[in-house]
Each structure stands twice: as C-alpha cells, then as structure tokens.
C-alpha cells in the first residue's frame, strides 16, 4: 500500500508556457510540467494571447503532473492550490464572463499616445503621491484607454477586468478577485492606501465597476469546482489560494523579501526586484513601485523587455527557427570570448524598452562590429548587453542609498554558469542560485501552503523549503573591465534615440 503524502499545487501562467508543479510538505518537488504557449503578433509592437489557451493549457499541465505523481511510490493528496502569472496582461470579460478580445500583454507597445495622455491628465506629482508609477506601454490603464478610443464596441462590452492568474482562478472556482501585488501593477491602484484609486479612475473616465475586489496573496479565493476537478484528476473542494504576480511570487520562492537582497530574473524579459519595508519612490519614477506578496512590504523593480528573448532571437537568426541548436552549445562557444566581446556591445531593445528609457521606439543595436568578430562574439555580446541593461536599474536604486549585499538569480539565465558570472562581474555583487528552478510556480505552492494553514507564515515555509547553491563571486579584474564597457553602453542610447524615432516613423 502506498504511503499518503499531502502536496501543494503551484501554477504559473507565463507568456511562453504554463507551468505546474506539485510540492510536498517538506518542499520536495514531486512532479512538474511545462506546456508551451503561442503569442499573437499582428505587427512589430502588438503582442496578444488568447486567455482560453491559458485555461486549456492549465488543465493539461495539472492533468500531467497529477498523472506523474500517481506513478510515484506515494499516494499524493493535493490540499492547496496557488496561482501566479504574467503581470499587466489585460483580460477583458463581458457580462456573461465571455472573452471580449485577445488579452493585450505586458510587452505590447501600442499605447504610447495613451501613456502621454495619462501623464498630462494626472501629472508627475500626483503620480508620485498616489500611483507611485509613471505610465508605460505595458501597464493596464493605458490599454483601457486604447480600447476605449480604438475599439469602442469592445469597451462597451467590457464588464470585468482581470489579470491572467485571476482569470484562470475564476475558471477554477467561479470567484472573481485579485491580489494587491497584481492590482498595484495596473496604474489604477494607490500604493500608499493599498486600494483602487477612485480619483484616477474618475480622471481617466473609467468605470469603477470593472475592477475586482482585492485580497491578500495568502487568502483563500474559493474552492475547486467539481467539473474542473473531474477534468484534471483532482478532488473537488480543494482550497484555491489567491496568489500573486509572477515577479514577487518568484521572489517568495527565492527568499527575496528583505532589504539588501535583489532578485535578478532573466527569462523572456529581464527584471531586477528589490524589496523594501519603506515606500520611497525615486524622483523620476524610473523604477516601478509595486506591492509585494508578503504583507506590509513593497518592492522596486526595473524591467527590460527582451532578455532571454534576445538570445532566442539571435539563435533564430544564426541557425533558423526550426534549428535544434541548443542554448547550451551557443553559450559554450561564448565561454571562449573574453569579457567585453572584443569591443562588441549590444543594446537589447528589440521590442522597445522600459527601464530606464520608457521608449517604445527603442530598437536593438550591435555597435563595434569588425571583421574578426565571430558567432561566439555575438552570443557573448547579447548576454553582456542584457546584464548592462539590467544594471541601469541597479544604478537608479543605488541613488536611494540602498545597501545591496547579494543577487539571487532566477529564470533561464540562472541555469547558465557564464550568465551568472557575467551578472556577478557587471553588478559587482555575489550571485546565488536557489536549489530548485521551478521559480514562480514554486512560489505559488509556498503561498498555497501558507493559505491552506499548513504553515503560519511565508518566512516559515521559505526557511524550511529553500536552500541555495554556492555563489558566483565577482572577479575584480573583470569588474573593472565591465565598468569601462558599461560606461560606453550608457552613452549609446542617448546618441541614437532620435534615429530610433525617425526609423519608427519610416517603418510605420
């Protein structure tokens, strides 16, 4: 007879995949599964997905991990479910909770005019003292204005606005709510009062009624409905915990919820996430200021839109989209190249850029190419360029006198020893890797364990479950070299910014 083991199910509604992971009471991963997702691109800056695809892929991912767990030597009983997912992406539902149109994603760049309109109507001072964030193309509020101005019939149909994980949870439970971490990243939320901003909604002439109630990330948001349980091999009535946005939930998984720690994430996009227990926005609002999943904590975050995607783009260019050439083999070649890529520098602005430029016109650039550069130089330059772009956010945070002690690396970039070392040398900080790579899905399982009352706090679970591998330490000689290359890197964007604008006007 099999031994009974309780488990928590964590689900991450990502851009490139839905990930499900089953974790036992001791933090061991029983089973995990990734289901790839497609992105809809009708032009260079429009990025959309079908929310129904998220739901179908979620059911598939759950079914697969349940079947994998059934083949283990234990009898697995899921007692809590937690969710996380991509931030900002807007799910628009009508009065029957049917999808109005495809979701406009976090990386979509169509809303530049609406961002300018919001800035003019609200003003920098009100943004600072209420929203804590400036309008950028990926956030939710400008998308609602775009919808109102460009698709008025769809705007009239809109009755409920949800974020990706909230839509999937609604399909699981029939309950409509969101949490503070996702709500705070919509540009419709007062980060000081921790509530929807009625003033901003009125100024933008957006209906209050479309926004869901907000609860804490570790609160229960309903139970699994019988028909859903039957579809994926689970018991009905399992508590479904609210969860949170993918970046802070990933930070939960890596134990990054105290001052001095930084989470560096290199996935499709790239982020630096810096927790704080005292809200202190930078003067130009170049960093995002959002609510953490841990109660009474916030975080500052810098975002670049093409991190791992830059390496994916290069692989497709060099080898073709259907090539089986692995990233490992590409990076292996790059290991032979010295820091600085023999004078080759890459700007990873392939779909515009967020931090610190907030420029949807920005584009990718290789500068310094000469006849002796090889494929390996291109690969290393892309990896270094991503780290230079992330360092921009670190430099802004340093201006606020934050004492940083350690980087904790997550995402696909954390799996590469070379990319970890480049980060250590570019940031001049030790880079540590969490002992498991399930990322935000694992963090969602942690929130489920707390919300289900198996543990008293996030801190307690992380202390028991999370371990760290040996750090990559900065190399003083390479740190010095990268400082010089970074100084050159910082001067490139201002030099070509006007050219980006001219190119965009020509291509449009």
Residues labelled as active-site residues: 246
Cβ–Cβ < 8 Å for 386, 348:
yes
| Crossing angle between the packed helical segments 164-173 and 51-70, to the nearest 10 degrees | 60
Q: Which of 334, 302, 308, 346 is nearest to 488 (CA)?
A: 346
CA atoms within a 13 Å half-sphere pointing along the CA-CB vector of 477: 2
CA 217 to chain centre: 16
CA 238 to chain centre: 27
The span from the CA of 271 to the CA of 290, in Å, is 13
The span from the CA of 462 to the CA of 443, in Å, is 9
Q: Number of helices (H) and strands (E), helices first, in the chain?
A: 17, 22
350 DSSP assignment = B
Residue with tokens 């460009």: 150
Strand partners, 104: 48, 90
Cβ–Cβ < 8 Å for 372, 318:
no
Q: Which two tokens stand for residue 183?
A: 């709500």
The span from the CA of 288 to the CA of 1, in Å, is 52
The span from the CA of 65 to the CA of 32, in Å, is 6
Cβ–Cβ < 8 Å for 344, 295:
no
Burial annotation 190-207 (CB, 10 A radius, 16+ → b, else e)? bbeeeebbeebbeebebe
HEC profile for 137-149? CCCHHHHHHHHHH
Residue 272, number of CB atoms within 10 A of its CB:
28
Using CB atoms within 10 Å of the CB of residue 433, give its burial: 0 to 12 exposed, 13 to 18 middle, 19+ buried. Answer: buried
Q: Which two tokens stand for residue 400?
A: 């606020």
Strand partners, 28: none
């Amino acid at each position: 007879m099999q031994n009974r083991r309780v488990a928590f199910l964590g689900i991450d509604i990502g851009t490139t995949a839905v990930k499900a992971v089953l974790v036992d009471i001791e933090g061991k991963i029983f089973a995990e599964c990734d289901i790839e997702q497609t992105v809809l691109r009708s032009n260079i800056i429009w990025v959309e997905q079908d929310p129904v695809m998220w739901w179908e892929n979620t059911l598939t991912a759950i079914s697969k991990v349940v079947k994998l767990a059934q083949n283990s030597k234990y009898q697995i009983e899921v007692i809590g479910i937690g969710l996380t997912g991509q931030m900002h992406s807007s799910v628009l539902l009508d009065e029957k909770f049917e999808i109005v149109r495809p979701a406009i994603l976090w990386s979509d760049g169509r809303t530049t005019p609406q961002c300018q309109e919001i800035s003019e109507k609200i003003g920098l001072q009100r943004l600072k003292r209420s929203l804590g964030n400036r309008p950028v193309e990926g956030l939710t509020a400008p998308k609602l204005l775009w919808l109102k101005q460009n698709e008025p019939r769809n705007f009239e149909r809109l009755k409920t606005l949800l974020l990706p994980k909230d839509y999937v949870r609604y399909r699981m439970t029939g309950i409509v709510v969101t949490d503070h971490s996702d709500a705070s990243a919509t540009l419709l939320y007062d980060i000081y009062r921790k509530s929807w901003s009625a003033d901003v909604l009125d100024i933008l002439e957006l209906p209050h009624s479309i926004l869901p109630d907000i609860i804490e990330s570790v609160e229960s948001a309903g139970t699994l409905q019988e028909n859903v349980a039957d579809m994926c091999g689970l018991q009905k009535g399992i508590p479904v915990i609210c969860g949170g946005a993918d970046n802070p939930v990933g930070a939960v998984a890596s134990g990054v919820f105290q001052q001095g720690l930084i989470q560096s994430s290199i996935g499709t996009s790239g982020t630096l996430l810096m927790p704080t227990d005292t809200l202190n926005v930078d003067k130009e609002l170049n960093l995002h200021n959002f609510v953490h999943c841990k109660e009474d904590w916030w975080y500052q975050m810098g975002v670049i839109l093409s991190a791992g995607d830059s390496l994916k783009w290069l692989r497709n260019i060099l080898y073709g989209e259907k090539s089986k050439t692995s990233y490992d083999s590409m990076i292996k070649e790059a290991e032979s190249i010295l820091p600085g890529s023999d004078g080759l520098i890459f700007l990873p602005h392939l779909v515009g850029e967020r931090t610190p430029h907030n420029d949807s016109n920005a584009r990718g650039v290789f500068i310094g190419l000469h006849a002796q550069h090889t494929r390996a130089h291109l690969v290393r330059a892309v990896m270094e360029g991503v780290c230079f772009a992330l360092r921009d956010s670190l430099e802004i945070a340093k201006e606020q006198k934050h004492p940083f002690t350690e980087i904790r690396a997550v995402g696909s970039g954390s799996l590469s020893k070379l990319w970890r070392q480049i980060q250590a040398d570019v940031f001049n900080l030790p880079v540590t890797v969490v002992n498991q790579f399930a990322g935000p899905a694992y963090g969602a399982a942690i929130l489920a364990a707390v919300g289900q009352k198996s543990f008293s706090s996030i801190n307690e679970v992380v202390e028991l479950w999370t371990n760290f591998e040996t750090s990559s330490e900065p190399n003083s000689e390479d740190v010095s070299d990268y400082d010089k290359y970074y100084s050159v890197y910082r001067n490139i964007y201002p030099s070509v910014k006007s050219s980006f604008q001219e190119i965009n006007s020509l291509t449009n």
